[in-house]
């Protein structure tokens, strides 16, 4: 939408304040559903909740171009509906991670999901869309005239269709079922609504193959003892036992614990979420404050950074997709690396989980804040600004193993609800921040970007500091 709003504003004559209203409208919907999504996911499972949210945001995404053509009111309604659907997504995902993913694999799981949800997962689509916008423009001015002049003369443009694209989810993620079998999460469209594989209808051949696989895994554990270095769940059964890795040992240990806890977990899923008790925990407030501060910067950058390049450096509209997507693409890749590094630090280097979270959040927040300031103060060209922003976003990838994962360390059974509290808190500054940026730019022009990015940096610094001070080594259960 950050790329599309440039074309939408030009096509329908929306000024910066109106563009800010359209962008900020998303958060009025987004703030309304996370707690509901987290509560329902922790009680009844995340799959049906996520599937419902995916259907809602897909419908409103498809309606956005038509709504923008009808007027600002319909565009705002479409954006609110999109927010309603997306608001339940991350709480549902975190609820599933807390239930299905072994503790020593959760950094990678969260980093994978957050990384895939960044524009990096659709980088080529976004660049393609940017070229499409350019192709749809019939400009009376020559190519030697800058994008700022073209943008300032909407009469020079013929009508164009505004663009939107559907975000792609992660390809798959490995986990174990309630009965202990290794399973693979497929794309959302193929995920059944049932919560356990024991509820799935299977053919006789599927059941036989599943039992053989389970039997071979058990045999591998029996013969390898404490020094198990076992096979990956998806590897061929013909592999020798001495090629197995320690990773499988962790998965099988988690599988056995899931079997033992199945009845207890089923009962706890039906009980209400103890939200009053959770709100008395400093660990919960570490997440709430951190998300509150970090979300301002995240959503302002996601919503306005294409306009920043356009206003400050006159970047051609056909290249905005590249300038906007590349930093997020690098952030997603670094997030995956950070997830691997975080789990390795806990597993092999004997770092405590909270130390990994603190380091990740600090590197991510302070790193991005510093390089944003450098981009504002030192960058004289769009390329230099993009390089500095990209370095900052790369460092920010480490925040994917920070506060975003912390709820799984101290209270995984209510991870979805706890994340929803932080997500809701983070939507509050996003609503006003995204709109206020549009207001500043509409009244004062491009010379306000230094104020905007400095404010974003202050929020990043405060959020990271609060998280480091409030996070602890404690783990508790409120079931």
pTM (global) more than 0.75: no
Contact partners, residue 380, CB within 8 Å, separation at least 6: none
With contact defined as beta carbons under 8 Å apart, do 255 and 176 qualify? yes
Q: How many CB atoms lie within 10 A of CB 71?
A: 11
Residue 94 C-beta-side C-alpha neighbours within 13 Å? 32
Choose among 199, 201, 197, 191: nearest CA to 55.
Answer: 191
Please check whether residue 188 is in contact with residue 54, taking contact to mean a CB–CB distance below 8 angstroms: yes
Tell me the C-alpha distance between 344 and 425, whole Å.
Answer: 31
Domains of the chain in start order, with CATH, are 4-173+274-470 (1.20.1250.20), 182-270 (no CATH)
Element (H or E) spanning 174, and its range? strand 173-176
The string of DSSP codes covering 67-110 is HHHH-HHHHHHHHHHHHHHHHTHHHHHHHHHHHHS-GGGHHHHH
- Classified as helix, coil or strand, 142 is coil
Residue 352 CB neighbours (<10 A): 12
The alpha carbon of residue 70 and the mean position of all alpha carbons in its chain are separated, in whole angstroms, by 31
Instruction: Residue 370: count other Cβ atoms within 10 Å of its Cβ.
Output: 17
d(CA 45, CA 78): 28
Tell me how far apart the alpha carbons of residues 59 and 80 are, in angstroms, rounded to a whole number.
12
Helix runs in 348-447, H state only: 353-378, 382-396, 403-410, 415-444
> What is the block-wise mean pLDDT of the chain (479 residues), using blocks of 10 residues?
77 85 89 92 89 94 90 93 93 87 83 70 42 41 39 39 36 43 44 40 45 42 39 45 52 54 49 88 96 91 86 81 87 92 93 96 97 91 94 95 93 90 88 84 73 93 98 82
Residue 43 CA to residue 337 CA, distance in Å, equals: 32
For residue 24, the model assigns a pLDDT of: 85
Q: Please report the pLDDT score of residue 118 as a whole number.
A: 59
- How far apart, in whole angstroms, are the C-alpha atoms of residue 89 and residue 47? 10
Please give the pLDDT value at position 128.
Answer: 45
Closest CA to 3 of 300, 318, 312, 330: 318
Q: Is the dihedral of CA 348, 350, 355, 357 positive or negative?
A: positive
Q: List all residues 6 or more positions away from 263 whose beta carbon is below 8 Å from its beta carbon.
A: none
pLDDT of residue 223: 41
d(CA 479, CA 476): 9
The CB density around residue 447, as the number of other CB atoms within 10 Å, is 11
Give residue 17's pLDDT.
83
Kindly give the pairing relationship between strand 173-176 and strand 182-185: antiparallel
CB 192 within 8 A of CB 200: yes
8 touches 162 (CB < 8 A): yes
Q: How far apart are the first and last CA of the chain?
A: 40
CA distances to 96, 175, 206, 262, 309 from 44, rounded to whole Å, are 10, 19, 27, 14, 45
Residue 420 exposed, middle or buried by CB count within 10 Å (0-12, 13-18, 19+): buried
CB 299 within 8 A of CB 433: yes
Burial profile 7-44: b = 16 or more Cβ within 10 angstroms, e = fewer: bbbbbbebebebbbbbbbbbbebbbbbbbbbbbbbbbe
């Amino acid at each position: 939408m950050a790329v599309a709003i440039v074309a939408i504003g030009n096509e329908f004559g929306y000024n910066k304040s109106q563009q800010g209203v359209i962008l900020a409208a998303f958060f009025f919907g987004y703030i309304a559903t996370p707690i509901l999504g987290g509560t329902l996911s922790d009680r009844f499972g995340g799959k049906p909740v996520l599937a419902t949210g995916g259907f809602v945001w897909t419908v409103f995404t498809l309606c956005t171009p038509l709504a923008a053509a009808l007027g600002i009111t319909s565009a705002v309604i479409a954006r609110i509906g999109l927010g309603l659907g997306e608001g339940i997504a991350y709480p549902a995902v975190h609820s599933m991670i807390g239930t299905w993913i072994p503790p020593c694999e959760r950094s990678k799981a969260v980093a994978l999901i957050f990384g895939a949800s960044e524009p990096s997962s659709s980088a080529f689509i976004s660049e393609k869309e940017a070229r499409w916008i350019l192709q749809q423009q019939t400009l009376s001015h020559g190519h030697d005239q800058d994008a700022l002049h073209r943008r300032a003369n909407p009469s020079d443009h013929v009508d164009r269709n505004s663009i939107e694209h559907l975000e792609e989810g992660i390809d798959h993620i490995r986990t174990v079922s309630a009965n202990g079998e290794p399973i693979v999460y497929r794309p959302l469209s193929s995920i059944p609504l049932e919560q356990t594989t024991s509820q799935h209808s299977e053919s006789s051949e599927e059941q036989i193959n599943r039992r053989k696989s389970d039997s071979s895994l058990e045999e591998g554990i029996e013969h390898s003892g404490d020094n198990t270095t076992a096979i990956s769940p998806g590897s061929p059964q013909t592999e020798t036992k001495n090629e197995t890795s320690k990773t499988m040992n962790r998965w099988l240990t988690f599988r056995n614990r899931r079997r033992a806890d199945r009845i207890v977990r089923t009962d706890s899923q039906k009980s209400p979420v103890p939200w009053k008790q959770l709100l008395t925990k400093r660990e919960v407030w570490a997440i709430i404050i951190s998300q509150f501060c970090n979300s301002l910067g995240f959503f302002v950058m996601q919503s306005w950074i294409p306009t920043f390049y356009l206003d400050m450096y006159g970047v051609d509209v056909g290249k905005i997709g590249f300038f906007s997507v590349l930093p997020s693409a690098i952030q997603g890749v670094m997030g995956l690396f950070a997830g691997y590094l975080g789990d390795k630090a806990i597993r092999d280097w004997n770092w405590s989980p909270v130390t990994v979270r603190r380091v990740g959040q600090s590197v991510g927040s302070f790193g991005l804040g510093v390089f944003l300031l450098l981009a504002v103060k030192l960058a004289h060209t769009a390329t230099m600004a993009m390089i500095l922003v990209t370095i900052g976003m790369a460092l920010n990838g480490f925040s994917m193993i920070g506060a975003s994962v912390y709820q799984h360390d101290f209270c995984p059974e209510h991870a979805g609800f706890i994340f929803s509290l932080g997500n809701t808190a983070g939507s509050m500054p996003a609503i006003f921040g995204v709109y206020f940026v549009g207001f500043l730019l509409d009244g004062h022009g491009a010379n306000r970007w230094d104020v905007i990015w400095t404010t974003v940096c202050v929020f990043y610094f405060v959020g990271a500091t609060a998280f480091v001070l409030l996070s602890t080594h404690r783990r508790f259960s409120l079931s």
